[in-house]
Amino acid sequence: MRENLHRFFRAARGAGVHVSPAESIDAMRAVKQVGISDRAILRDALLLTLAKSQDEKLALGDCFDLFFSQPEPRQDQPEADNDEASQDADQSPSSGAASEASQGQPPEGLGSLAQMLLSQDRNAIAAAIANASGAASLSDIRYSTQRGIFSSRILDAMGLQRLRDDLDDLTATNPALAERLRNALDALREAVRDTVSQGLALYAREEAENLRNEILRNAPLARIERRQVAEMRALIRQIARRLRERYSKPRKRQRRGHLDVRRTLRRNAAWGGVPFLTAWKRKHRDRPKIVALCDVSGSVAQVSDFFLLLIHSLHEVVDDVRSFAFSSHLIEVSEILEKKSPEEAMAEIMSKVGFGSSDYGSSLVDFEKEWMSTLTPQTTVIVLGDARSNNLDPRADILRRVSERSKRLVWLNPEGRLAWGFGDSEMPRYATFCSVVRQCATAQQLERAVSDIVATYQ
């Protein structure tokens, strides 16, 4: 049962349930207390010790039901075989021995698998499949193309070669019994295929999800199909969570500072050096600020959607984030993004400024009039856009003043570098005043860019 629990924990992780070593130990202790005889109690015990949210509870319940459902070989033909054998016995006395053998105990000299199949012991067959699955390391299955390989391994572990020899012998001496054994073998193969399919659903889910995410991470954001938008948003949230986990802990340590050993010892001299009072070295850090300017015109609207979602998922890392959206004119969208769901927020933003013809010059004029005073030497300004101003005045002079007033100016362009400077692209002119200019066409490039930005505050 311990090995089964370890495999179940692995399957639960594949289903999206975070199971730490400490939680797995707690679950095993709970199982030790409640036992395994009552499946409902076992299920409740595992859900109580492992699930930490309603979503995880549902996922874990489905995983439990799938994991502990044991496959059984389908044996639909025995009664018909017995009837045919009885008719043969009535018609021909010489076939009485075969009829008796098919209806009674399996003859001696057969292998254990042949005897098990002929005796129709379903519990023993299910246990043998489970043991052979463990011997064949079914938990290592990762891809659907491996079904045949693992099915063969399980059958070999159960003794398929000996069973084939028994079939050859029975075909020559007792054809009726050989036919019965052959039908039982077909049912066994089907049960093994069901077991492998179950293992694929349990253990390959994480690998399949990782493969799908890897494909999405490298797919151009502007070309994501409508059916993939929800998956991409979930991936962006995963990226944001990973960035928070990576950078939140260092910030907490930095706020506290590092232990000053000399001052601590001096302060506690009256207590014989026992550190009742501690002293910390603190280094002053400027409070970070991020101002994001996002082009939401028709050509880059979908990229901006994912970018704004990622930026506003990082409030635990950067305390002060203000976001603006523009096409022909610019508005602040921080409050919209904070108070509404991503779908509602983007719908409202697009209804106000989205899908228009981009005019970078007019948008920069709007920013200078209303919000230029918000920039400080601690502000990082991030511009996401293709820098295509439809042959209008790009107002690069305003971008220069933005760069002078802020700590740094980062431009993330969703277009390939080969397109910069061609047609109505003003990227080379804007790049003159930027601290960092990067191509940002995929989720992976977006994660790297935001990670580099946030890392400078640690």
List, for residues 298-338, the tens digit of each pLDDT value.
Answer: 878 778 878 877 777 766 667 788 889 999 999 999 888 88
Q: pLDDT band for position 438 (50/70/90)? A: very high
CB atoms within 10 A of CB 349: 23
Kindly tell me if the per-residue pLDDT of 294 is higher than 50: yes
The CA angle 93-94-95, to the nearest 5 degrees, is 90
Return the structure tokens found at 163.
């069973």
Q: What is the pLDDT of residues 224-244, one digit of tens each?
A: 777 777 778 778 877 877 777
Q: Is 53 helix (H, G, I), strand (E, B) or coil?
A: coil
Report domain 284-455's class.
Answer: alpha beta
| 48-57, 238-247, 328-337, 419-428: range with lowest mean pLDDT | 238-247
Confidence at 79, pLDDT banded by 50, 70, 90 = very low
Tokens 């904070």 belong to: 338
pLDDT given for residue 99 in this prediction: 41
Q: Specify the DSSP element, H or E, that contains 294.
A: strand 289-295
92 pLDDT more than 70: no
- Between CA 352 and CA 348 the distance in angstroms is 6
The neighbour count for residue 229, using CB atoms within 10 Å, is: 14
Residue 72: pLDDT above 50?
no
Nearest to 313 by CA among 447, 456, 407: 447
Alpha-carbon distance of 267 to 269, in angstroms, equals: 6
Residue with the larger pLDDT of the pair 205 and 20: 20
87 pLDDT tier (thresholds 50, 70, 90): very low
In terms of C-beta density within 10 A (0-12 exposed, 13-18 middle, 19 or more buried), how is residue 47 classed? middle
pLDDT at 248 over 50: yes
In this structure, the number of other CB atoms found within 10 A of the CB of residue 359 comes to 22
- Tell whether the model's pLDDT for residue 250 goes beyond 70: no
State residue 399's pLDDT score.
Answer: 95
What secondary structure, in 3-state letters, does 264-289 show?
HHHHCHHHCCCCCCCCEECCCCCCCE
Q: What is the pTM of this model?
A: 0.58
pLDDT for the residue 329: 92
Which residues neighbour 193 within 8 Å (Cβ) at sequence distance 6 or greater?
147, 151
19-23, 92-96, 428-432: which range is least confident on average? 92-96
Averaged over 89-105, what is the pLDDT? 43
CA-CA distance, 397 to 134, in Å (whole number)?
69
Residue 105 has what pLDDT?
Answer: 61
**Residue 343, pLDDT score:** 75
Q: Tell me, what's the pLDDT at 368?
A: 95
State the pLDDT at residue 140: 80
Q: Which is more confidently placed, 12 or 45? A: 45
Q: Could you tell me the pLDDT band of residue 344, with boundaries at 50, 70 and 90?
A: confident
> Which span out of 21-25, 171-175, 402-406 was modeled with the highest average pLDDT?
402-406
Mean pLDDT score of the chain, rounded to an integer? Answer: 80
- Number of CB atoms found within 10 A of residue 292's CB: 24
Identify the helix (H) or strand (E) that includes residue 49. helix 39-50
- The predicted pLDDT at position 434 comes to 95
Structure confidence by residue, pLDDT tens digits, 99-158: 444 445 666 778 888 888 888 888 888 888 888 888 888 878 877 788 899 999 999 999
User: How far apart, in whole angstroms, are the C-alpha atoms of residue 16 and residue 63?
Assistant: 10
Distances (CA, A) of 122 to 181, 199, 301: 14, 20, 60
Most confident residue range from 67-81, 158-172, 200-214: 158-172
What phi and psi values does residue 365 have, to the nearest 5 degrees? Answer: -65, -45
* Predicted pLDDT at 383: 93
Cα–Cα distance, 165 to 39 (Å, whole number): 39
Q: 17-26, 209-218, 263-272: which range is least confident on average?
A: 209-218
Model confidence at 415: pLDDT above 50: yes
98 pLDDT more than 60: no
Q: What are phi and psi of 299, to 5 degrees?
A: -75, -25
Of 112, 152, 104, 151, which Cα lies nearest the Cα of 128? 112
